[in-house]
Amino acid sequence: MAPLAIIAAGGTGGHMFPAQALAEALLAKGWRVRLSTDARGARYAGGFPDAVEIVEVSSATFARGGIAAKLQVPFQIMAGVMQARARMKQEQPAIVVGFGGYPAIPAMAAAWLLKLPRMIHEQNGVLGRVNQLFAKRVDKIACGTWPTELPAGVVGEHVGNPVRQVILDRAAAPYIPPGDYPMSIVVMGGSQGARILSDVVPAAIAQLPNEVRKNIRMVQQAREEDQARVAAFYDEAGISADVMPFIHDVPDRLAEAQLFIGRSGASTVADVSIIGRPAIWVPLKIAIRDEQTANARQLVEAGAATLMPEDTFTPENLATEISRILTNPTGATQMANAAVNVSVPDATSRLVSLVENLANAPEVTK
């Protein structure tokens, strides 16, 4: 019978995109694949191939609900662990791979209890809470961002962040440098959009010198509650803009862009670097571990991007930076090339190799 891989992942795109990429690759190599998640995570699993069995196990987080809900968390997690352990004991999967998020806890804990081959993939430059919990309880740590901050004594292996095939199809798309013709700026703020981008970016565009502003074509993601005011601002300022709550054709939009502005979530950083575009990254300030700054660090150090912390992210500062990039075609092209040079388009195959090597290892070391 074909070997079974259990993929454990939470309910955000940051966890699910690389998990889906691994699932697709393993299926193509003849593996059986199961996704272990909870009811919330299952709602985000629509992109997984039909051949992937989706199993919901009980899990919970202290980050939601009132006191009564928080008191139930340990019991819900324990129930999920026992549920996952019983099934794994019967089926003996070849490997269990965790991608983070609290729904991954039951499967990873069960794999540890049963001493099954197990590994985690961390998308960000700083370990998330769940991956931090298992960092010393797995056989391998695959790192999507490099370098990744790891606990003392723990060694990670850089594989990169797997991206969707639609992104790979536009890898290193030819870059049209900025000039005296229509120029596209793509603005994205994560899966939910970011209000600060809706507040700052339009005002910055309006402050650009006329010779730059007249050529700008905006593609901006905005929350539904912000969409109308952002679109109205651009319209009143005479700036061409396509404003929407969710950008469905991201690969095409990025391939056509001269500049990207947005949050530095791990998946977004991977997408932009693989296609290869100059970027202005605005890390999420309230992130406890400041992982979005870590995610952007390599691109900034390579000269592919500018980092603008929220405290300095003003219309005036942003307008200055946009103008600097869009009035220097040679520099913008160098930024685009630098992004491609630090990207990891073969991240999925690197991750598959780690999975197969661990699954075939003679014994589990931890």
Return the sign of the alpha-carbon dihedral for residues 161, 325, 221, 290: positive
DSSP letter string, 112-126: HHTT--EEEEE-SSB
Distances (CA, A) of 5 to 30, 32, 91, 326: 11, 6, 11, 47
- What pLDDT is stored for residue 38 in this prediction? 84
- What does the alpha-carbon distance between residue 147 and residue 74 come to, in Å, rounded to a whole number? 33
- What pLDDT is stored for residue 308 in this prediction? 98
Block residue for tokens 């661990």: 358
Block residue for tokens 């900034």: 300
Q: What parts of the chain have a pLDDT lower than 50? A: 364-366
Q: 3 is written with which tokens?
A: 């070997």
- What pLDDT is stored for residue 62 in this prediction? 65
CB atoms within 10 A of CB 320: 13
**C-alpha closest to that of 48 among 85, 82, 5, 88:** 5
What are 15-26's pLDDT values in tens digits?
A: 888 999 999 999
Q: 347 is written with which tokens?
A: 């991240």
pTM: 0.90
Residue 242 is which amino acid?
D
